[in-house]
Amino acid sequence: MKTSSENSNFNGLEPVEIEEINAEMSHYEDKAAVAIEAMKIVQKHRRWVSDQSLLAIAELLEIPTAQLEAMATFYNLIYRQPVGKTVIHYCDSVCCWMMGSDQLQESLCRYLNVELGGISADGEYTVLPIVCLGACDHAPVVMAGDELLLDVTENPVSRILGR
């Protein structure tokens, strides 16, 4: 498990996080069902799910930590390591691959001077692969933060970063 600066100053989930998680509980018979949403809520506030956050969520939902960890590590969009402010997911599935996703990834990492999965020096960006984003008629595609960008062929970096 990774250590981070959060280890020393984690004081439990914030009231706003708990409130948002509790609001989801009314939708289900069993509060364990909120697990994915809870991790996404925590991630929205903290960018990633640290060990301490994971333990706190498991306690709140009254589920074994191992059950939650089995889910946390299962999903492409739950980050168990720190990430940059904006995560740039480039699609590496078949249609985008055919239309040049390998080159797209290289130019992104080169421009941001960041390794795949790492954080750029200014703390702004992380580049990660993602499976098919469901926009294959506009390949290659990228999801930068919440935004889906289509036909990212020319000047991909400036289009994504707006620079």
Return the residue of 19, 85, 131, 158 that touches other proteins, per CB under 8 A.
Answer: 131
Nearest to 48 by CA among 98, 7, 15: 7
Specify the 3-state DSSP secondary structure of 91: strand
Are 125 and 113 in contact by the 8 Å Cβ rule? The answer is no
Give yes or no for residue 112 binding other proteins (CB under 8 A).
Answer: no
**What binding mask, one character per residue, do residues 25-64 give for other proteins by CB under 8 A, x or -?**
--x-xxxxxxxxx-xx--------------------x-x-
Of the candidate residues 21, 54, 56, 139, the single one contacting other proteins (CB under 8 A): 139
93 CB-side CA count, 13 A: 14
| Cβ-based nearer residue to other proteins, 109 or 135 | 135
Containing H/E element for 127?
A: strand 125-130
Write down the number of H helices and E strands in the chain.
8, 4
Nearer CB in complex with other proteins: 1/74:
74
The residues that touch other proteins, with contacts defined as CB under 8 A, are 27, 29-37, 39-40, 61, 63, 67, 70-71, 74-78, 89, 92-95, 97-98, 130-139, 143, 146, 148
